[in-house]
Structure 1
Amino acid sequence: MVPWELRPESSVLLVIDMQNDFVREGFPMEVPMARSRLPAIRTLVHACRATGVPIVYTRHVLYDSFDVSPLETAYQPKLREVGMRDGTYGAEIVDELKPEPGEVVIRKHRYDAFHGTELDTVLGTLRGPRGVDTLIVTGTVTEVCCESTARSAFMRDYQVAFVSDATGALSDAAQEATLRTIGSFFGRVLDTSQVLAALR
């Protein structure tokens, strides 16, 4: 027995950090699995547009002028020099998933897309007051920003549909660990075909 059903009329598709610096080969924060997930995420984006399910994108942004995420750069020292720099091609969402006019793009400086951003306010009004109860989570990095955001969504009483083949981790082991944790405690783990079936 499932704890809740995915209903398109109260859902939003969240596309997390599918930026050139994460997706493109040879770029500073390259996640090969994220690149392999592009077809599945693109399929979900098109399906959501066709069925009227809103799409919200996030972009992780850092600055050259000051260290906006000092603990992140402490653990990832190369980020003091390169990666997701404001105004650069690397910080932009990949063309394959380019947001359309009117689709919301959230700039963030922490792994959790709710932290210090307008995401919760947007979700609380995007489909009318309190009209959203479910987030369909896609993007990268599975075990970092996707998982952090999914957990934060759960704490705010959003139902989380975490898409197993539309999220990209740094390793197969990390992917499986996050799917196991999310599916046990924080949401439902679905694949793209299951989400598409629900959207129909």
Structure 2
Amino acid sequence: MKPRTHAWRIEECEYVRQEQRRGRRHAYQHLTPARTALVVIDMVPFFVSEAPYALGIVANITCLATTLRAAGGRVAWILPAGLPAREDFFGHRAAELLGHCSGNGPPHRRLWPAFQVHDTDLVTEKTAASAFFPGRCLLPLLLGQRGIDTVLISGTVTNVCCESSARDASTLGYRVIMVADANAARRDADHNATLYTIYRTFGDVRPTAEVLELIGRH
């Protein structure tokens, strides 16, 4: 399957609206790598192998992870726990598939095989769509122990687990940056709707190249 890249966009009128509101286009114009974590959500074979847009973000996630580690930041790999999904909502077949979406073996071996997990990386599971929902994932605790206040959201699916995580991270007080070309959905329309929502209310939205520039400014 050939990787694909989302034609992502935020309408110029929304950029103008935010510039008028706060005097600048982007909420966060700097970051401190030592207080920043790249959060990579659900990049496991179940979600990536048959999803061209998910395949298309692997290189950007790898580049972000390598650069942030080198600058002293953290990488957090978040996996679905694979608990049984609600059959009354999803139907029997889909619920059964989702119940096995995490795969088998140690967590770091269940990620998409193109990724390399380093000893300093965080690897944990979540039992809800959001990696930041209280009691459903150890991520907030792990980040708090390391003094992290800024999270770069990446992974799949943009408008489900990634958006849920970004919203909850914002509610918990994190500075949230959703990486526009390091998240993947089924369609451009779904992807862009989430980018708009995050940008106007919950955090910032920037492409990989701009995030790399922010990391390099420290």
| TM surpasses 0.5 | yes
Partner of 1:80: 95
**1:107 maps to 2:125:** yes
Give the conservation status (yes or no) of the 8 Å contact 1:62–1:84: yes
Structure 1 SS opposite 2:114:
helix
Give the conservation status (yes or no) of the 8 Å contact 1:45–1:97: no
**1:18 maps to 2:66:** no
Structure 2 Cα separation of the partners of residues 76 and 59 of structure 1? 22
Q: Which amino acid in the other structure matches residue 4 of structure 1? A: Y
Structure 2 Cα separation of the partners of residues 123 and 77 of structure 1? 36
Structure 1 Cα separation of the partners of residues 89 and 43 of structure 2? 23
Structure 1 Cα separation of the partners of residues 89 and 110 of structure 2? 24
The verdict on how the C-alpha distance between 1:92 and 1:76 changes in structure 2, with shifts beyond 3 A counting, is farther
Partner of 1:150: 166
Give the conservation status (yes or no) of the 8 Å contact 1:142–1:167: yes
Q: Which amino acid in the other structure matches residue 37 of structure 2? A: V
Structure 2 Cα separation of the partners of residues 170 and 43 of structure 1? 23
Structure 1 Cα separation of the partners of residues 120 and 213 of structure 2? 26
What are structure 1's unaligned runs of at least 5 residues?
26-30
Structure 2 Cα separation of the partners of residues 197 and 150 of structure 1? 21
Structure 1 Cα separation of the partners of residues 37 and 121 of structure 2? 11
Give the conservation status (yes or no) of the 8 Å contact 1:16–1:59: yes
Partner of 1:190: 206
Structure 2 Cα separation of the partners of residues 10 and 96 of structure 1? 26
The verdict on how the C-alpha distance between 1:32 and 1:156 changes in structure 2, with shifts beyond 3 A counting, is same
* Post-superposition offset of 1:121: 0.7
* Post-superposition offset of 1:153: 0.3
What are structure 2's unaligned runs of at least 5 residues?
1-23
* Post-superposition offset of 1:98: 2.9
Kindly tell me the number of residue pairs found equivalent between the two proteins: 186
* Post-superposition offset of 1:182: 0.5
Which structure has the larger Rg? 2
Match of 1:4 among 12, 23, 28: 28
RMSD: 2.1
* Post-superposition offset of 1:4: 2.8
Deviates more, 1:1-10 or 1:173-182: 1-10
Structure 2 Cα separation of the partners of residues 85 and 48 of structure 1? 26
Give the conservation status (yes or no) of the 8 Å contact 1:62–1:85: yes
Give the conservation status (yes or no) of the 8 Å contact 2:34–2:71: no
Query: Residues 94-150 of structure 1, C-alpha deviation per residue, up to 9 Å, x if partnerless?
Result: 121232223111111210112311111111112xxxx22110011110000000000
Q: Which amino acid in the other structure matches residue 122 of structure 1? A: L
Task: Using the aligned pairs only, state the percent identity.
Answer: 31
Structure 2 Cα separation of the partners of residues 78 and 46 of structure 1? 38
